Each structure stands twice: as structure tokens, then as C-alpha cells.
Amino acid sequence: MPLTKLHWRQLPLLLVVGLLLMPLLVVFSSLLSPDLSLWQHLLATVLPDYLQNSLLLAAGVGLGALLLGTSLAWLIVFFRFPGRNLLQWLLLLPMAMPAYIIAYSYTGLLDFAGPVQSLLRDLFGWRYGDYYFPQVRSLGGAILLLSLVLYPYVYLLARSAFASQSERLAEASLSLGFSRRQHFFRVTLPMARPALITGTALAMMEAFADYGTVQYFGVPTLTTGIFRTWFGMGQQQGAAQLSALLCTLVLALIYLELASRRQLHFYYTGQSHSDIKTHQVRGIRGYLLLLLALLPLLLGFVVPALQLAMLADWAALLSSDYLKLLWHSFSLAFAAAVLLVALATWLCYGLRLNRHWLVQLLIRLSAMGYAIPGTVIAIGVMLPLAFFDNQLDLLAEQYFGVRTGLLFSGTVVALLLAYAVRFLAVALQGIEAGLGQIKPSMDQAARSLGLTPLQVLWRVHVPLLRPAVLTALLLVFVDVLKELPATLLLRPFNFNTLAVKSYELASDERLADAALPALTIVLVGLGPVLLLTRALDKKSSVGH
């Protein structure tokens, strides 16, 4: 459809999408006027370390998540051992543990004054310097801990890919003289490559976006560099340009992931898990497999959750400070969830009604924010809102003699805009899937009865979309609750959330005080994991 065929009624839709794309455009526009002296200083001092550590972190986490997720999927799909049926769902629990929280937990557990090293010194009579103990607050420690909470991305996709392959392929391989092991490495794994690459890319993008873990561990990366450039050097433009560099790395990763999948075309037979030939493992070997499969769950969820529970000051549950944190966090997350679900419903309906290529393209682009680090989005939101606030304040003082102050950049408006850019894809995906199940003939029938498009949406689609809407609300709520870097940059003065408070307390080495808000985030984060488990369980039962 040519550009001239755009209807004026599509203008509000395009304006909203333009607002959502604004932060990324602002970030990349900063490259048009680079500060050469700043870049020379960064190149001569810290930028090589930022780049090297960011790339090593992403590569290490990608490899760790790939090895853990693929191995666990292989054990669950192809072997039967005690506890396997329950374990296949429990292995998703580390998704509820934000990376920065597991960092606080293991630091308290493994530091010199922690229980592990204290026990070793008591048992063997060692003193400081008498023994070597790995340093958890390091690049290697960050890679390990991030891998433990991000492997479910690969595990979920790998398990689905393995379970979808036909047993006839294995029979054909065996008839050609392949062993089961050779079939796995030469047929099963290559066929699962699209799923494995996608899961690994998601884990790497999360590693690029991480701020809390690397900042707490003292590992200089591009995300920590953006904060230092903005707050330490007072260089907003320089921070925006570093954000553009980080964003470029993420977009390059997305492109490589899409390009790799375009080269791979495999077709599965759609078999259910029960059609796969599994190997029964009994006795001691079965329990050894159970222990191996339990290790990532224990290290990635159970141990840090128990550590937080033991450190937490449960008497503070009813304190005014904790209740204030709960109110700030939950009200902000609820407001963001309602706003985003309403926005996503409107945009999805716009996709359904408007087949114009420009509308389709811009709405799809607006959902890319989920792949962009929260730090980058915060910079992209802060710069234009601060400019708008300054101009408005100047005009108000000039014409009316009053100062307006920070109406947007210093309020929750900035946070809500950042969350909308960051998490729109979460709401959009679920609601678009729900809307796709409603037949177009229902729209036509409603329109024939005299309803306008908005009336069709409100009176026909919204009631039918209730399960998708509730799911999207929960997912966005928890994602906003866990978000740290964007909240840290954009929160109003003296406005703390559970994520920010736990980060601040942990940074001050007050791990016991940080435990309760951190554990609250983890417990709330179990909601979408249980929801995902229930959805997968339904699919599995349908397949059987």
C-alpha cells in the first residue's frame, strides 16, 4: 500500500509508536556530534576494558547457558530417572532469581567473612593467606552466576526442539551404523541448532544488559561505563554515545541470530514427548543423574533463596520503611502493567485493522525495546524529557513569571515511558497471540450490527482476551518489579523501590538488610514461572 493511502485516523497510532521509538533515535542521534576529546580520553583509559569485559561476559554467559541448558534438556528428554517428571518444571525456577540478587547472596555466602570460608578456617585451623579460595566478585564469578539464572532460556527451547524430533530419525541413523551417541551429536544437535542459537542469543543479550551484578562485583563493562560517564564525569552526551555503542552490539547480536536461523530450515514431525524413545536409568545411576540435574537448580535458586531467607530480618516485614518500599514498587509496577497492556491491546488491534506496510513496520520496531539494555533506554528517555522540561520552564518563566520545575524528567512519567519502551514486547506478544485466535468473521459480524472499530475492541475482543490480558499483566508487573538500571537512573528524588533499595544496601555491604527486599522480588518472580510451567504442562497433556 503506498504511503499516500495512510488514513488520518492512523495518525494517533503512529504518534504513539514514534514516542516509543524516540529513546533509540535519541541515543543514535548522539553519534552525529561526537565529543572527540572525550572519546580520546575514553580510548586511552577505560573503553578497551569496557569493550573487552562486555564481550567476554556475553560470550562466557552464552557458552555457560548453552552447555547447561542443552545438557539438562538432553537428560530430561532422553532419560527416565527418579524425580524426572517433577524436575523438568523445577529447572525453570532460576528464571525467578534476578542476577543481581544471586550476586548479593553468593557474596555473603562465599566472601572471607561468609559461612563457607569461616567453616574451612575453623575445620583446618587456617588463617588469612594460608589458603586459596576463588574470588566470587570477579568477571569469572559474574559469568558463572549469570549462567546459572539464564540457562532456562536455552533449556526451554532445547527441550522443545529435542522432543519435537521423530524417533524415526534415530531408527534411520541406527540402520546406517550410527550409535545413539553419534546420532545425538550428528543429527539431533544440528537439527536443534535454531532453538539453541535463539536461547543463547537471549542469554547473551541479558548479559549485555546486566548492571547490578557487574557493578556490585566491580567489573567495568559498557553498562557501568554509561553510569560513570553520566554521573562521574557529568557527560550526558558521552553517556548517550556509549549507549549507542552498547546498543549496536546488541543489535548486531540480534542480526547474527536472525541471519543464522535463515540459513537453517528443519522440519519436525510434531511428536509429543511420549513418542521419544527414552532410556530408563535405575538404581544408583538414576540417582546420580538426578543429582547432576539438580545441581543447577540448587545453585541457581535453592541455595541463594535459603541464604536470603536466613539473612532476612523478618521483624522488618511490618516496618514503615519496608511497607513504603512495597507500596512504591507494587504501585509503580501495577501502573506500568496496566498502561502497557492497554497500549499493547490498542497496538495489536491496530495491526489487525491496518495492513499498511509503514504501520506494520513501525509497530514491530517499537517492540524491539525488550532486547535493548535498560541503561540505554533510560538515557534515551532522560535526554529529550530533560530538554522538554527546560524549554517549558523557560517559557513559563518568560511569559507567566512562574517556574514549572521538572514535570516529566523528574517524575514517574519518565519511568513509565522507559518501562513502556523496555517491556512493550512482553505484553504485545501475549495479546497478539490471543487476538490471533479470534476469527475475523467475528469482527465483520459486529461491524454489520453497527459497532464502530473501538466498540468491537471493547465489547467483543477484550472479554475474549481476558486470559491473555491477565497473563500479560502478570509478566509485565514482575519484569518492572525486577528492573534495576532504568529505575536507578530515572526514579524521582527520594523514591526507592525493592530493586533499588536491595542494590543500595548490598553496595554498602549491608547484605542482611538487603535480604528481605531481595527475597520479596524473588518470591513475586515465581508467579510468571509457575504460569509458564502451567502453560507448558497443558501443552504436554495435549500432546499426550
Distance of CA 78 to the CA centre of its chain: 29
pLDDT attached to residue 179: 67
Q: Are 50 and 221 in contact (CB under 8 A)?
A: yes
Determine the Cα–Cα distance for residues 543 and 268; give it in Å rounded to an integer: 14
Name residue 432's amino acid: E
Helices (H) and strands (E) in the chain, counts: 27, 2
Beta bridge partners of residue 280, listed in sequence order: 80
Q: Which grid coordinates belong to 462? A: 477484550
Written in H, E and C, the secondary structure of 380-449 is HHHHHHHHHHHHHHHHHHHHHCCCCCCCCCCCHHHHHHHHHHHHHHHHHHHHHHHHHCCCHHHHHHHHHC
HSE-CB at 291 with a 13 A cutoff on CA atoms is 6
Determine the Cα–Cα distance for residues 415 and 55; give it in Å rounded to an integer: 28
Reading phi first (left if > 0) and then psi (alpha if -120 to 50, else beta), residue 83 is in left
HSE-CB at 240 with a 13 A cutoff on CA atoms is 22
Check if 1-22+318-507 and 46-311 are the same fold.
yes
Beta bridge partners of residue 80, listed in sequence order: 280
Written in H, E and C, the secondary structure of 206-242 is HHHHCCHHHHHHCCCCHHHHHHHHHHHCCCHHHHHHH
The pLDDT tens digits along the chain (544 residues) read: 444 455 666 677 788 888 888 888 888 888 777 778 878 888 888 889 999 999 999 999 999 999 999 999 999 988 898 988 889 889 989 988 888 899 988 988 888 888 888 888 888 888 887 788 888 889 999 999 999 999 998 998 888 888 877 667 666 766 776 766 777 777 777 788 888 888 898 899 889 889 989 999 999 999 999 888 887 777 778 888 888 888 888 888 877 777 766 655 554 444 444 456 777 888 899 899 999 999 999 999 999 999 889 888 888 888 888 899 999 999 999 999 999 999 988 888 877 777 777 777 788 778 777 778 888 888 889 888 988 888 888 888 888 878 877 788 878 999 999 999 999 888 887 787 777 777 777 777 877 877 777 778 778 877 888 888 888 888 889 889 989 888 988 888 888 899 999 988 888 888 888 889 999 999 988 888 887 777 666 655 444 4
pLDDT attached to residue 374: 86
Q: Are 167 and 276 in contact (CB under 8 A)?
A: yes
Residues found in the chain: 544
Q: What is the CATH number of domain 1-22+318-507?
A: 1.10.3720.10
46-311 adopts what CATH topology? Answer: MetI-like fold (1.10.3720)
Please name the residue that has the C-alpha cell 568477571: 139
Domain boundaries, the chain: 1-22+318-507, 46-311
Determine the Cα–Cα distance for residues 23 and 384; give it in Å rounded to an integer: 8
pLDDT attached to residue 132: 84
The pTM (predicted TM-score) of the whole model is: 0.84
pLDDT attached to residue 264: 54
